[in-house]
Amino acid sequence: MNLRINWLLVAGYWLPKDGGKMYTAKVYVQLKEGILDPQGQTVVRALMSLGYKNVSDVRVGKFIELKMEGKDKKTLASQVDEMSNRLLSNPVIESYTFDVEEEG
């Protein structure tokens, strides 16, 4: 009997692949409108001191890229939404958007 298992390295652990397709999820997190962004204000001041006088506002956020395996995009999108709400963002002060795309 010849058993062939494909393995996937995840956070330093080798896990068996479930045979699904590979996807990339891109999550964009930023402060909600109306929440003070001191880091953004610092960037505006720095840009102005460098001569970029036409910049009036900067919002600094986070970009998170996830490599995921799954059978369908809809299920993975649901998981990414849950991850973003539970861990990747602070829903009290941050909002997020995401895209899930199949790897070529």
Coil, strand or helix at 23: strand
* Domain chopping of the chain, boundaries: 20-102
Query: Which of the listed CATH numbers 3.90.76.10, 3.30.1280.10, 3.30.420.10, 3.50.50.60 matches domain 20-102?
Result: 3.30.1280.10
User: In angstroms, rounded to a whole number, what is the distance separating the alpha carbons of residues 16 and 28?
Assistant: 29
User: In angstroms, rounded to a whole number, what is the distance separating the alpha carbons of residues 37 and 40?
Assistant: 5
What is the residue-level pLDDT of the chain in tens, covering all 104 positions? Answer: 455 556 667 677 776 676 788 999 999 999 999 999 999 999 999 999 999 999 999 999 999 999 999 989 999 999 999 999 999 999 999 999 999 999 97
pLDDT value at residue 15: 67
Q: Which two tokens stand for residue 58?
A: 């900067």
pLDDT value at residue 56: 95
